[in-house]
C-alpha cells in the first residue's frame, strides 16, 4: 500500500510564542477557539479530554511537551460504529518577527476508505480551527457558528 503523507500546515499569528502555546494547551484558552471544554494535564504523558460543541469527545495523552516550542497530542478518534483511529498531532512554534510561526504536522494515517474520510475531515478541521485561532488571538472574535460540531463524522 502507498504511504499516506502527513497533514502539514503553517500559520503566522501576530502574537507572542508563549500566548500561542497557551492557546494550544490551556483549557480556558482552548475553549475560546477550538473546543467547548477541555481538561489538560500540561506535561509529557499527561491526559487530556476535549469536548466539542455538539458533544463529540476525545480522551488521550500528550506525547511530547516542551513549552513554549512544541506540544504533540496522541489523537484518538472514535466513531459511533466503534471504529478507532490513532494518529499524532504535533505543533511546533517559533518566533518570527513580532509574532509566531506555528507548524502543524498531523501524521499516522493509513490507506483505506475510512482513513481517507478521516484525513479529509481532519485536514479541513485544522484549517478551520487554526484560522479561528488567528481571529481569536488577533481580533478577539470566535468565528465558530453555534451549529459547528467539530465532529469528524459530521456531514
Q: Output the pLDDT for position 121.
A: 94
pLDDT digits (tens, 9 = 90+) for 84-108: 999 999 999 999 999 999 999 999 9
Give the whole-angstrom CA distance, residue 56 versus residue 78: 9
pLDDT of residue 53: 87
pTM of the model: 0.91
Dist CA 40 CA 30 (whole Å): 10
* Domain that includes residue 22, residue range: 7-139
Q: In this structure, are residues 8 and 132 in contact, taking their beta carbons and an 8 Å threshold?
A: no
CATH number at residue 69: 3.30.530.20
Residue 152 within a domain: no
pLDDT at 151 over 50: no
Q: How many domains is the chain partitioned into structurally? A: 1
**Is residue 107 one of the residues assigned to a domain?**
yes
Task: Examine residue 114 and state whether it is found in any structural domain, yes or no.
Answer: yes
Q: Is residue 144 part of a domain?
A: no
What pLDDT, on a 0 to 100 scale, did the predictor assign at position 116?
93
pLDDT at 2: 65
Amino acid at each position: 500500500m502507498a504511504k499516506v503523507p502527513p497533514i502539514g500546515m503553517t500559520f503566522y499569528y501576530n502574537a507572542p510564542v508563549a500566548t500561542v502555546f497557551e492557546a494550544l494547551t490551556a483549557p480556558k484558552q482552548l475553549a475560546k477557539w477550538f473546543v467547548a471544554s477541555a481538561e489538560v494535564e500540561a506535561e509529557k504523558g499527561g491526559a487530556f479530554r476535549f469536548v466539542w460543541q455538539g458533544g463529540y469527545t476525545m480522551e488521550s495523552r500528550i506525547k511530547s511537551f516542551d513549552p513554549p516550542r512544541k506540544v504533540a497530542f496522541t489523537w484518538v478518534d472514535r466513531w459511533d460504529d466503534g471504529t478507532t483511529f490513532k494518529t499524532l498531532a504535533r505543533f511546533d512554534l517559533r518566533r518570527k518577527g513580532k509574532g509566531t510561526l506555528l507548524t502543524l504536522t498531523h501524521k499516522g494515517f493509513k490507506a483505506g476508505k475510512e482513513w481517507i474520510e478521516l484525513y479529509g475531515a481532519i485536514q479541513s478541521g485544522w484549517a478551520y480551527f487554526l484560522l479561528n485561532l488567528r481571529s481569536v488571538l488577533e481580533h478577539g472574535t470566535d468565528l465558530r457558528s453555534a451549529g459547528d460540531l467539530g465532529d469528524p463524522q459530521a456531514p
